[in-house]
Amino acid sequence: MPAVATDFGIQKALKELGVKDINEGTSTGSHHFSNGEIIESYSPVDGKLIGKVKTTSKEDYEKMMKTATAAFKTWRTKPAPQRGEIVRQFGEKLREKKEALGKLVSYEMGKSYQEGLGEVQEMIDICDFAVGLSRQLHGLTMHSERPGHRMYEQYHPLGVVGIISAFNFPVAVWAWNTALAWICGDVCVWKPSEKAPLCGIACQNIAAEVFAENNLPEGISNLVNGDYRVGELMTNDNRVPLISATGSIRMGKIVAQAVAKRLGKSLLELGGNNAIIVTPDSDIKMTVIGAVFGAVGTAGQRCTSTRRLIIHDSIYDKVKEAIVKAYGQLRIGNPLDENNHVGPLIDTDAVKQYNLAREKVVAEGGTLIVEGGVLEGEGYESGCYVKPAIAEAQNHFEIVQHETFAPVLYLLKYSGDVTNAIDVQNGVVQGLSSAIMTNNLREAEAFLSVAGSDCGIANVNIGTSGAEIGGAFGGEKETGGGRESGSDAWKVYMRRQTNTINYTTELPLAQGIKFDL
């Protein structure tokens, strides 16, 4: 296997997770179906080859679906609390392997080690949430208009749930979906990003351990690797009633059309163009912390990353100065070194998009006040490290309307009251996350009111990134409308059924209709 950053314990982590190079016989877990072409995973940290993975062929996919549909017939009959016990054990395995998996996430994707650990913690948290939920899959009881009748509703599992995840959260988003789907009695088929396939294999290995220890059949958790062609097999498959897809708006529209064509269900988590409104009554120190982490965390590659800072003209210069000063203190480098704040972008294609965004904002009339640029030299050999940039711009600029998946922050100015800022905030096609910094109760309530933020997430005095497991996560407009994780998001993984029981000797019809024989 190629040499990697052993000084940060990567080799040890790979061994603990059972991730080997394909030439050594890739350990992929008992429910992994890949015998097709080979894809290579290179780390954006140092540009080195981590390992090779076989992709899933059409024949592999068919074999997997037979295994998955057979497993569903067994898994759905287990009482939900028993399914919860399996998820509890999975959460315990994640606790044992948190450090190793966090390092792999950091090394294969490029986010800081602390963020990698945080992502695994999200997996643990959703397992805890799901275990409690396993005893609360409740329906409603209704009063019937007919005497001697009882009405209620219940929820049943859908079947095979297809999960398509993105590179920026290579393990957590899968867990959000999978933990809930398993609790609900579904089995899962997961296509991780081809840019982070080894993270998928590691998770599959951990899940396979748990299922094997409990003598459960293969097919409850399934992994398929590859590009969009594997995704197309899932989205066009009538045997997959729900597709949960995370990625770009362009990708989401393709998935939505394919699934709708067969009248399937889609759960879409797509792009964000998230803004923080900064009012005259804001706490500047809190604003700087929230805005900087939101803009540069994960090198700006979160769907909830802060893209726009909408600042009142009376404090604009003060906030701008504080943000620029904070950017001057950022340390950029190997994300496994906990002294660094910012790691690399996922690949050189992402670097090209970053450079294009900086060029476009200037061409449209904006000004780069923190110019940014690509870093070169020792420690930056992968070509994926960039300096976070800041530009003064206008909300109507085409590049500002677009989501750039890189650390480029746009400063926008507003005047008048907070409703003007809210109009700017809502003036994009995306609707994922939003925030306002203010100590003014009226401004906060206006932001959260029916005439306020049109996003699925609206925060007061915290940034746009960093959602908690307990709340439903997702956005509106071209963000897709899906909801994952907490609250009642579990319902999308189940089918609703209304039941009426007649316990009399008569058969009265609804609405008083008479039908005498």
The catalytic site residues sit at 269, 303
467: Cα separation from own chain's centroid = 10
Separation CA 22–CA 19 (nearest Å) = 9
Pairing of strands 386-387, 373-374: antiparallel
Q: 33 and 64 in contact (C-beta within 8 Å)?
A: yes
Separation CA 421–CA 102 (nearest Å) = 38
Sequence-distant (≥ 6) Cβ neighbours of residue 400 within 8 angstroms: 307, 308, 361, 393, 394, 410, 412, 428
| Per-position DSSP letters for 329-380, written without gaps between them | T--BS-TTSTT-SB---SSHHHHHHHHHHHHHHHHTT-EEEE--EE--STT-
> For 298, which DSSP code?
G
Residue 251 identity (one-letter amino acid) = M
Q: 408 and 372 in contact (C-beta within 8 Å)?
A: yes
Separation CA 34–CA 58 (nearest Å) = 10
Q: What H or E segment, with its residue span, contains residue 42? A: strand 38-42
Sequence-distant (≥ 6) Cβ neighbours of residue 305 within 8 angstroms: 272, 274, 294, 295, 297, 298, 405, 407, 464, 465
Separation CA 158–CA 173 (nearest Å) = 19
Pull the structure tokens for residue 454: 């049109």
| 265 C-beta neighbours (distance < 10 Å), count | 16
Separation CA 490–CA 152 (nearest Å) = 19
Separation CA 280–CA 288 (nearest Å) = 14
Considering only CA atoms, which of 428, 517, 443, 440 is closest in space to residue 479? 428
Pull the structure tokens for residue 356: 């294009």
Find the radius of gyration of the CA atoms of the chain.
25
160 beta partners: 187
| Per-position DSSP letters for 104-115, written without gaps between them | HHHHHH---HHH
Separation CA 381–CA 377 (nearest Å) = 6
Pull the structure tokens for residue 242: 């729900």
